[in-house]
């Protein structure tokens, strides 16, 4: 049995199938870990979502910002981006079933020494702390106020974590760290508008994973989201968004031996 961690699919179903062929993926024996952003931008979001949901226990998926955006639209968000490519899902006959499945994906997956997350972890968060906060958001997403939460999810404030935070702002900070962050200050203040490569960080901010004393160094973090970073690997870090939807590559990494596969 092999486990393959896969970067942002973003509606590129055909590329995903070619990548799985390259890996010789066996759904009866192997497992796939997806770093989120299954949908949007690419032309085949519906096919990608149906396929991954249909894998059942063979697929472990964490939510990305585009996945959450799809859930926000489903909940009634009226403000839409011109770059959306999600109508095929929203008008599909199995839309309710697919989005029920998506809504029940976690924000964080921890297994052995690995942590799967879409964007990153704030520097002061230990893995147990991050798990607790992820579960807090997951309960809100699936609770009776789920639609209210999704319609209040958008925004960059508050931009840093404090244990005393309450309400929608507390949940928004957690979600932004897990699904949108690239740069932050050593104190954990997120700079949400910066999207360039690591060397383009605004003054006083740094790629979240470079900060000294980062409390999550006890595990290997596997993440996506940052296409301008590309495929990147350190001892305790694996970045898998190599920007296929922007003309780059779709990347998979086999956990057991670290072998990389790309299309």
Structure tokens at 197: 């490569």
Total domains in the fold of the chain: 1
94 confidence band (pLDDT: 50, 70, 90): very high
81 confidence band (pLDDT: 50, 70, 90): confident
pLDDT digit string, tens, across residues 166-205: 999 999 999 999 999 999 999 999 999 899 999 998 999 9
pLDDT digit string, tens, across residues 6-17: 999 999 999 999
Asked if residue 48 has pLDDT above 90, the reply is yes
Structure tokens at 93: 């006959």
pLDDT digit string, tens, across residues 228-243: 999 999 999 999 999 9
The continuous run of DSSP H or E covering 108 comes out as strand 108-111
Q: Where are the beta strands (DSSP E) in the chain?
A: 3-6, 31-34, 59-61, 108-111, 114-117, 183-184, 190-191, 206-207, 220-223, 232-234, 237-239, 251-254, 260-262
* Residue 138, domain CATH: 3.60.21.10
d(CA 115, CA 100): 24
For 42, the domain range is 3-262
Q: What rounded mean pLDDT belongs to the chain?
A: 97
Asked if residue 79 has pLDDT above 90, the reply is no
d(CA 215, CA 212): 9
């Amino acid at each position: 049995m092999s486990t393959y961690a896969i970067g942002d699919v973003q509606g590129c179903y055909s590329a995903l199938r070619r990548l799985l062929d390259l890996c010789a993926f066996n759904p009866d024996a192997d497992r796939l870990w997806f770093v989120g952003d299954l949908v949007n931008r690419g032309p085949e979001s519906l096919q990608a979502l149906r396929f991954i949901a249909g894998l059942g226990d063979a697929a472990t998926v964490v939510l990305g910002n585009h996945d959450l955006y799809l859930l926000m639209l489903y909940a009634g968000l009226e403000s839409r981006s011109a770059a959306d490519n999600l109508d095929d899902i929203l008008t599909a006959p199995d839309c309710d079933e697919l989005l029920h499945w998506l809504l029940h994906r976690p924000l964080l997956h921890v297994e052995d020494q690995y942590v799967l997350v879409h964007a990153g972890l704030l520097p002061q968060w230990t893995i147990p702390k991050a798990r607790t906060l992820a579960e807090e958001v997951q309960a809100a997403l699936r609770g009776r106020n789920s639609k209210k939460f999704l319609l209040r999810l958008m925004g960059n404030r508050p931009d840093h974590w404090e244990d005393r935070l309450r309400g929608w702002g507390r949940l928004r900070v957690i979600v932004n760290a897990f699904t949108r962050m690239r740069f932050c200050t050593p104190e954990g203040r997120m700079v949400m508008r910066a999207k360039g490569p690591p060397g383009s960080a605004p003054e006083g901010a740094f790629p979240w994973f470079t900060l000294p004393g980062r409390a999550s160094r006890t595990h290997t973090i596997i993440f996506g989201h940052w296409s301008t970073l590309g495929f990147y690997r350190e001892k305790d870090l694996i970045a898998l968004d190599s920007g296929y939807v922007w003309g780059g590559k779709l990347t998979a990494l086999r956990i057991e031996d670290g072998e990389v596969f790309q299309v």
